[in-house]
Structure 1
């Protein structure tokens, strides 16, 4: 005997057509509310749009989002997604750390812009992803759910399907994605800590973010990975994901990230620094920030995904020079 309360929607992968019988437990609810419950892989606004356009039908007929259902009705959804991202696919090399049918995890190099925009109409990560998987054009932002600044390197996850995109977006909002960064900052810290200051757009300089009382909640946890004479290698973990968050928080703590063109301030060379360290500090023209680890539950099957990106060559050379400078300083001190 057919039991509407045990119904799940059926999927025809080739036709992207879905159908579901409205369970009796949902009787008395609006069509758009029921559709959101039966097809959670799509946003409520998209489902409402499809109801109005006739691509989501009720017992074979068009209906209104506000119509009240009694249970037992059949919903049919033509879930063919229109093109959402119109960027040009470009054959740009990508370092894919992990991939399956639902997600990519990419190790983004420093210098690669994530989204096309003013001044960067192409040559971006989005262009590279569309070349690798043209179906990403059907997803908002080509499946990108979080981004890295142009000159920040490291791992980021990209959704390849709408269900994965919606789930990853939800997980990020719920802080269920572990994001760990490495940063070289000015100053020899004696301990780690937590930066818990709200962040928003700078009132005068629209390119910058700043700590503001009326800003959005932002929390960064950091701990010492390695300490040098006048610098520290920090391990930073994001609890929230505001624009430029780590960069702003470290500037606010008076330990700006080395090389940061927006928040780093003037170049400061340690007294008695080695020639190699001076060369590295003068030549490091981007923020020394690297997204080292990304871990999360897979958005479809729930298994643990943990991806790491090795420290890029320029940042490794900087750390090596700091380490060598520290060693030479300790040797000089021991001879005194």
Structure 2
């Protein structure tokens, strides 16, 4: 049994308690939360309430969650690039091409399968302890909780937007200056596999600044304030600087004028979005000390940057 806690946001005032539970502890099924509510495992400001009771907002809610097998996912002996590990936290350097969660078309060979092999006890945690994800073809740092208290801590930090996440990306187009993109993102109206800037979407904020400029490309550092699906890819395409190699949002393939033979080779070979989760900073779930990790660029992005720099000299 592990006690999870949260403060009910003011904007939830007037909602039923069971609806609030489903929002705040979404990693558990509604039926499981209802069961825990009925048997007295939920208290609000120290009192037990009924599912239909309305909340005022601002209350302190506590849930005694029970560790149990919550996954239908098989452990697989897939190598992991472990950057850091202790009893409560695991930091992984995910290679491009590795899917994070099993889904239709990818039930095996995922990071989740690999994690269950590395730490079998993760089968009792929501999503095997994975509290955020990066796209299949994005490389870089990803955090995993190894205990329920650590999971609760990391989810809370994500909700409070206090986790530092910085990415390096190579875009099409020469960007003159950095900026902030504050545009909501939702599913594309006609293509359910894509996302787009939509006024009916969820709020999404992306900060970017230029690290290096080339004739027709840019290397940028991106800092996320929110973590929407495909956020960086959608936002950069929205401001007409899509990521190199992005098969969904990058537009049709074009070689820049005055392109060297080596640059042409690298651009043609780059079949994924040029995006790398370089930096991850958080408060350690146990010690509450700030921890930070930096993962250098993978080889394919290093080669592409080298070709871009070399092309500038000719």
Q: TM-score, normalised by structure 1?
A: 0.77
What does 1:8-157 correspond to in 2, within 5 Å? Answer: 49-50=35-36, 52=38, 66=50, 80-157=66-143
**Do structure 1's residue 164 and structure 2's residue 168 form an aligned pair?**
no
Aligned residues of 1:189 and 1:224 also touching (Cα < 8 A) = yes
SS of residue matched to 1:217: coil
Give per-residue Cα distances to partners, 1:6-49, cap 9 Å, x unaligned. Answer: xxxxxxxxxx589xxxxxxxxxxxxx99xx9xxx9x98976763
What does 1:1-336 correspond to in 2, within 5 Å? Answer: 49-50=35-36, 52=38, 66=50, 80-328=66-314
Aligned residues of 1:146 and 1:157 also touching (Cα < 8 A) = yes
**Distance of aligned partners of 1:254 and 1:17 in 2 relative to their CA distance in 1, 3 Å threshold:** closer
Offset, 1:66: 4.4
Aligned residues of 1:183 and 1:257 also touching (Cα < 8 A) = yes
The whole-number CA distance in structure 1 between the counterparts of 2:2 and 2:173 is: 58
Matching residue of 1:5? none
The whole-number CA distance in structure 1 between the counterparts of 2:83 and 2:304 is: 24
Structure 2 unmatched runs, 5+: 4-16, 43-47, 52-62
Aligned residues of 2:129 and 2:144 also touching (Cα < 8 A) = yes
Aligned residues of 1:48 and 1:65 also touching (Cα < 8 A) = no
The whole-number CA distance in structure 2 between the counterparts of 1:85 and 1:161 is: 15
Offset, 1:105: 0.6
Give per-residue Cα distances to partners, 1:216-261, cap 9 Å, x unaligned. Answer: 1101000011111100000000001100000000000000000000
SS of residue matched to 1:115: coil
**Distance of aligned partners of 1:253 and 1:91 in 2 relative to their CA distance in 1, 3 Å threshold:** same
Q: TM-score, normalised by structure 2?
A: 0.83
SS of residue matched to 2:313: helix
Give per-residue Cα distances to partners, 1:279-329, cap 9 Å, x unaligned. Answer: 11111000000000000111221011111111011111111111111122x
Offset, 1:158: 0.5
**Distance of aligned partners of 1:187 and 1:142 in 2 relative to their CA distance in 1, 3 Å threshold:** same
**Distance of aligned partners of 1:301 and 1:279 in 2 relative to their CA distance in 1, 3 Å threshold:** same
The whole-number CA distance in structure 1 between the counterparts of 2:195 and 2:118 is: 33
* Residues matched between the structures, number: 280
The whole-number CA distance in structure 2 between the counterparts of 1:227 and 1:122 is: 40
Q: Which runs of at least 4 in structure 1 moved beyond 4 Å after TM superposition?
A: 42-48, 64-67, 77-80
The whole-number CA distance in structure 2 between the counterparts of 1:153 and 1:318 is: 15
**Distance of aligned partners of 1:204 and 1:47 in 2 relative to their CA distance in 1, 3 Å threshold:** closer
RMSD: 2.7
Give per-residue Cα distances to partners, 1:81-133, cap 9 Å, x unaligned. Answer: 11012211001000111111111010000000000110001000000000000
The whole-number CA distance in structure 1 between the counterparts of 2:236 and 2:2 is: 49
Aligned residues of 2:274 and 2:301 also touching (Cα < 8 A) = yes
The whole-number CA distance in structure 2 between the counterparts of 1:247 and 1:17 is: 37
Aligned residues of 2:2 and 2:149 also touching (Cα < 8 A) = no
